Each structure stands twice: as C-alpha cells, then as structure tokens.
Amino acid sequence: MAAATANAVNTVTGYLKSIEPLNGTNYPRWYKYVNVAIAVCEYDLALRRDKPAELADSNGDRTAIEKWERSDRMANMIIKNTITPAICGAISDKDQNGNDLSAKAYLAKVEENFKSSYKTYASTLIMKMLTSRYDGHSGIREHIMSMCHMANKLKTLDMAISDGFLVHFIMTSLPVQYSPFKISYNTQKTTWSMAELISYCVEEEERQKAERMKDAVNMVSERFGRVSMSNTPKHQVKFGSSRQHKKNFNGHKSKAVSRKKTSNERLCKFCKSPKYEQKECHGFKKWLKNKGIQFDPNYKKGGAKPKSG
C-alpha cells in the first residue's frame, strides 16, 4: 500500500513539473494540460460528476462519497499548484457562504477570469494568420506547419477551422513565384489534404531552387566566357565574334586600297616597282643603253617602255 501511494505521489509530482504555470497569457494551453494531468492521475471524477448526495442513514456505505471527495481534493491541489501565486491569490476559492469551492467550480471561476483574455488572444491569432506570408527563405514546410499550429490553437478556443479552408488559406499566403502552382490547384476538382499540400509545396519549392541554380550556373558561364575572350591574344581570336571579324576584314581592305593607290601614283612601267617612276629606273636606263637609245628624262615624264625591235 505504501509503495502504491509513493508511486501515485511521484506521478502527480512529475505531471505538475511538466505543466507551464498559468501566467495570464497561456490559459488555453494551461487548461488543456491541467485537465490531462488530472485525468492521468485518475482524479477527474470530481470534474466529471457532481458530489453524491449525503446518506440519510449515518451508518450507510459512504465509499462513493469518500472517493469523490478525495478526487475533488486532489484535483484542487493540482489546479492551484499550477497557477502563479499572484493569480492564485486574486481568485477566491470560497463561495458566497464561505464554503470551499469544488475543483469543478474553481476551474470554472478561473475560466471566467480569463475568458476575455483568451478571446483577445484568439483575435491576435486570427490577425497573425491573415497577415502571415511565406518569405521564401525559412522553408515552406515550416511555414505551413506554423499556420497549422495557429489553426490548432484557435480550435482549442472553440474557433475551429476546417482543413479545406485552411488549405485555401495557406495557398493565398504563398508569394507570386507560386502563381502557376496556385492556378494548377484551383483548376483541380479535388481538395488536397494537409499532408498532400505539404508534399506538393515542398516539391514545387525544390523545383524552383533547381531552376534558380541552373540560371546562376549559366550566368557564371557566360560571364567567364566573355572574360576569357577579352584576355585571349589577337592571333587566337581570329575566328571570334562576327563584329571582330568584320573589323579585321575592313582593316585589311583599307590597307589594300591604300597600297593600290600608292602604286598608281608611283609605278615604274618597266619593272613594275612602286618605289620610283620609270625615268628613275636603272634597269630602264641600262636597257636604253643596250639598245643604243639616248635617255631623255623629259620624255613623257618617264617615258614608256619601247617595243622590242
């Protein structure tokens, strides 16, 4: 018997340590966990049933009454030990006649004091959900789980959101990059479950990451390609861009025209040299001498090559 009592005390103590004390901002969470602790410890009888009526016969069996009283006493202890001293002192545990309140009545009084607080908390949650947008950096799975967490909190405040509505709500929170994805969903007749939504969104996010990586690689390749071409010697860029090829072609053409023009201005008709005129050509003078012709420097300003006799 002693061992069973010690185990029960250890169980209650363990659950009390795991419950975050009521501090004014965590009422829905506190209410949930304190009820779980009372039920696990098997002291929830006083919360589920009213106290049995007193027996008319003082010698009758009072087992049911004693069991309820023990449950009520232990439940009250768990509730009061999970409330901060300031709040516990502000909420009276006596009724108008000065009698101790039952655990059920005391818990209802705590709820009455925090009813307006958790309504304000619910309004805050709703506004947070309305303004929540995926930033594209934290991970789309984490974003969806955060939205689901807020929806579950509202459910504990008797403001349940259906899964279908929550899916649509999450889809509207996605950025413009997911527009084709959202259009694809809207054209389907079926409604995704939350598990399907998470799976498809994660797949779409990975696809977009792969596309961005591919674009980045192409950009880097093009940039390094341009740098490499600009640092290549001219003889290695012979067959480079069409603009460079055209420039080189125009340069050769202009040089050729210039050379041809010079040749026309000073061209020896005897030896075809562009460096001097025919009258200055030594070969021409030697040829005249061999033919017995006297050289005349004024003959047609250089003369013409005589026909062979």
Question: CA quadruple 280, 282, 284, 290: dihedral positive or negative?
Answer: positive
- CA-to-CA distance for 203 and 218, rounded, in angstroms? 23
Output the CA–CA distances (angstroms, integers) from residue 10 to 3, 35, 116, 149, in the order listed. Answer: 11, 18, 35, 32
33 within a domain of the structure (yes/no): yes
pLDDT tens track for 231-243: 555 555 444 445 5
Residue 94's DSSP bridge partners are 100
276 within a domain of the structure (yes/no): yes
Q: Is pLDDT at 80 greater than 60 in this prediction? A: yes
Q: Is pLDDT at 71 greater than 50 in this prediction? A: yes
Domain count, the chain: 2
Domain end call among 100, 115, 130? 115
pLDDT tens track for 121-174: 778 888 888 888 998 888 999 999 999 988 888 887 778 888 888 998 899 999
145 within a domain of the structure (yes/no): no
Q: What is the DSSP string of 31-82?
A: HHHHHHHHHHTT--HHHHSPPPPPPSSTTS--HHHHHHHHHHHHHHHHHHTT
The most confident of the ranges 10-14, 34-38, 123-127 is: 34-38
Domain end call among 97, 115, 133? 115
120 within a domain of the structure (yes/no): no
199 within a domain of the structure (yes/no): no
Per the confidence metrics, is the pTM higher than 0.75? no
Taking alpha carbons only, the member of 106, 110, 97, 52 closest to residue 74 is 106
What pLDDT, on a 0 to 100 scale, did the predictor assign at position 300?
A: 56
Q: Which domain holds residue 92?
A: 1-53+62-115
Q: Is pLDDT at 249 greater than 70 in this prediction? A: no
Sequence letter at residue 250: N
67 within a domain of the structure (yes/no): yes
In the chain, which residue ranges form alpha helices assigned H by DSSP? 2-18, 27-40, 45-48, 63-80, 85-90, 103-131, 140-156, 163-172, 179-186, 194-230, 242-265, 282-291
- CA-to-CA distance for 93 and 89, rounded, in angstroms? 9
1 within a domain of the structure (yes/no): yes
278 within a domain of the structure (yes/no): yes
What pLDDT, on a 0 to 100 scale, did the predictor assign at position 164?
A: 86
Mean pLDDT across 74-89: 88
Question: CA quadruple 22, 23, 27, 33: dihedral positive or negative?
Answer: negative
